[in-house]
Chains A and B, each alone.
Chain A
């Protein structure tokens, strides 16, 4: 059993007994997708809401408006069915008290509209506020655990 590390602007899938982890989400958002019928989990760590005009395919994992769809594709290749997928998301914090709409808020907003577009149901979220989050996603039970400094771990 191993923990598969998902970096920034990265994504991966896992089946039991392995699990997925992504460290220190700030304004980034971690998107956990799960197919409970075949216990396949996917985790995507996006940095920005939308791709730029000159973004190449190599940057697909970086942007919410590309990464989620790519992850769904990888999971379908592992036998997942799109209508069975559920989503849990975490992150999108505003690490510094800046004025205006924060990048974290925009990330969360775009992730949600992207999930809606792909007809994937959002079943849990732990987003916003001003602190970092590490996310562990376990395909055994589809539970997302969120850890932060100086706070109790939360399980969704």
Chain B
């Protein structure tokens, strides 16, 4: 069975395409929520170890919101969205009409709103995977953590520690009329599920 860092360029490009379609769905969903046109950049798929990923995400102590969703049934694994302060503040402003500048000001309502966004984003990606592969994937209720990115990343790092040190990261920019917000998503299918996905796409 392949590890993430043993995938061929072609297999990587297939996963990129899944990311692309998923991001397209996610951008559409965000447009509806934000009542604004949201475009997106071509996603950048990277396979990195945790330390490099932490650096990419602003250093280990950078405070982010992490939304964790587990995948079950034909594809098992996890998705972890990492949202930066600006993104979260904007979402809360639009959704709840609350102006906040700091994570410590997030109310319980704010937390549920962020979780709902996680649900919608995760659903967008999973629908993309399900449509392209004909696989049945279920999502668990999202869980949220607001903390140092290094601490949040220890969760996938530990869960997937048996599969080597590498994590699979999709990075892309959502571009609205006002500004550009970079989002980060870790998609971590278990290795046998990754195999299942690649086989369903006829590339394994």
Contacts and interface: CB of A to CB of B under 8 A. Distances in A.
B145 A130 contact: yes
A93 interface: yes
B33 interface: no
Contacts of A143: none
Interface stretch (A35-43, A74-82, A96-104, A115-123): A96-104
Contacts of A103: 155, 158-159
Chain A's interface size range is: 20 to 34
A62 B161 contact: yes
A106 to B, nearest CB: 9
Contacts of A132: 147-148, 150-152
Nearest to B147: A132
A127 B68 CA distance: 22
A149 B148 contact: yes
A15 interface: no
B61 interface: yes
A47 B158 contact: yes
B148 A47 contact: no
Contact of B155 (A27, A52, A62, A107): A27
Nearest to A63: B161
Nearest to B67: A96
A95 B145 contact: yes
B155 A26 contact: yes
B134 interface: no
A39 to B, nearest CB: 27
A47 B163 CA distance: 13
Nearest to B153: A26
A24 B68 contact: no
B162 interface: yes
Contacts of A62: 161
Interface in A15-31: 23-28
A4 interface: no
Nearest to A48: B161
B157 A8 contact: yes
A150 B104 contact: yes
B50 A26 contact: no
A27 B153 CA distance: 9
Given A131-B147, A149-B148, A95 B154 contact: yes
Interface in B156-172: 157-159, 161-162, 165
Given A8-B154, A28-B154, A62-B161, A134 B147 contact: no
A47 B162 CA distance: 11
Contacts of A48: 158, 161
A88 interface: no
B60 A23 contact: yes
B160 to A, nearest CB: 10
Contacts of B143: 96-98
A95 B152 CA distance: 6
B149 interface: yes
Nearest to B145: A95
17 contacts: A7-B51, A23-B148, A24-B151, A26-B148, A26-B151, A27-B155, A47-B154, A93-B151, A95-B154, A97-B143, A98-B143, A103-B159, A107-B158, A130-B145, A131-B147, A132-B147, A149-B63
Interface of A: 7-9, 23-28, 47-48, 52, 62, 93, 95-98, 103, 107, 130-134, 149-150
